Amino acid sequence: MTNVLEFEAALAVVREHAAGLVAVAGVETVGLLAARGRVLAEEIRADRDQPPFDRATRDGFAVRAGEFGLGVPVRVVGMVKAGEQWLGKVMEAGEAIEIMTGAPVPEGADAVVMVEHVVRDGETVKAEAGRTWRVGESIVPRGREAKAGDVVVAAGTVMGAAEIAMGSACGCVSVVVKRRVRVAIAATGDELVELEETPGEIQIRNSNSYGLAAMVEAAGGEAVRLPITADERGAVASTLRRALECDLIVLSGGVSMGEYDLVEEMLTVAGAEFFFTGVKMQPGKPVVFGRMGEKLFFGLPGNPISTQVTFHCFVEPVLRALGGAGFTGPRFGLARMSGAGERKAGLTRLLPGRLDGTDVSVVGWQGSGDLAANARANCYVELLPGDGEVEAGEIVRVLWR
């Protein structure tokens, strides 16, 4: 049964199914740096107060705010830098201590004034005229960022540079992460050859399998590349059986309306349930989504830009949900068109685009098989259904990749 949806309706179907997914079972312990892109299975807690002392946030002078605000010179009695501690007596009234960013604030001081906002005269320093100071100025008190034992990175978080830095600040040599989702990747087509082979005059290399594997790995999954599947019913059936050994199935090619596009037929024979069998979008209209047994599957169009656009829109959110990161829909942002783009009636277009700051333009392309254009792009420009052109200066959505 044909079930072709509007683009937003298809996203809603994916969102509905992803929201109910249970993350794949299994965890492992990995080194902190190896956790990049992985989903944290056990929270990270602060092993001590953060910061562990009252910390200066500016280069300047530790002072008593009340007296310094009077504009009266005070005597500089020493200096403290990051990694050192003021070992003198408690700072008394009429005194200041030169201090560097990140250093512990000496006892007796209750503010740090920036070096740019003072006037120094030999061994004394005073506030610039008109400046006022408050207690706590340019100081982060001990424990203000986190108390010892506080959760600083929650379970279910995708580990990036910020989370890894936080883990390192807490002394985490290793962390416990969820098992990666195993994604079966199968490209179909008699025209395909592997990279190690020399293609004949009418053959092409299996680029989709590698592009999909790269996107799966970038989204935190484990790519399982299956051999090229011939346009033959027995070969497709055999590939489907092997794919069922993985957590998620992604098929490329064989989902259009041609005589040798056999993927939907063989999925039907295998008892698959289809959630949709096409989306009113360009490129990517023949995309298929459903369930075979307990496993979700996607049948993506074989043209490479179609494959990559539909992966980012539909596959990646499901992959992240299966990995335990929760549902995060396609990553869209807003940009201003720096040139024109042609709409099409009844189709949401997601065209290769080049984003430069807040401006975006459509990259010249020769259709959804144009890998060179896709390599020149760094995003996809969404043009909503309609007639005529999107003109320069209009605000559009861009799909990150």
3-state secondary structure of 56: strand
Domain boundary among 322, 356, 389: 322
Asked if residue 220 is part of any domain, the answer here is: yes
Flag residues of the chain having pLDDT under 50.
260
CB neighbours of residue 137 within 10 Å: 20
Expressed as residue numbers, the domain containing 187 is 4-26+179-322
Tens-place pLDDT, residues 101-158 = 999 999 999 999 999 999 999 999 999 988 888 999 999 999 999 999 999 999 999 9
DSSP character string of 286-335: T-EEEEETTEEEEEE-SSHHHHHHHIIIIIHHHHHHHTTS------EEEE
Pairing mode of beta strands 74-80, 124-127: antiparallel
Give 15's contacts (C-beta < 8 A, 6+ positions apart).
317, 327, 329
Counting the structural domains of the chain, the total is 4
3-state secondary structure of 215: helix
| Residue 97's CATH number | 2.170.190.11
Contact 252, 210 (CB under 8 A): no
| Residue 262's CATH number | 3.40.980.10
Q: How confident is the model at residue 190, as a pLDDT?
A: 85
Q: How confident is the model at residue 258, as a pLDDT?
A: 54
Q: How confident is the model at residue 2, as a pLDDT?
A: 83
Do 236 and 203 belong to one domain?
yes
Q: How far is CA 238 from CA 14, 167, 381, in A?
A: 27, 45, 38
Residue 355's closest CA among 332, 378, 331? 378
Contact 204, 191 (CB under 8 A): yes
Q: How confident is the model at residue 264, as a pLDDT?
A: 86
Residue 341's closest CA among 314, 369, 316, 365? 365
Q: How confident is the model at residue 256, as a pLDDT?
A: 62
Do 17 and 61 belong to one domain?
no
d(CA 298, CA 286): 11
Asked if residue 294 is part of any domain, the answer here is: yes
Do 230 and 364 belong to one domain?
no
d(CA 210, CA 128): 63
Asked if residue 122 is part of any domain, the answer here is: yes
Q: How confident is the model at residue 260, as a pLDDT?
A: 47
Q: How confident is the model at residue 231, as a pLDDT?
A: 86
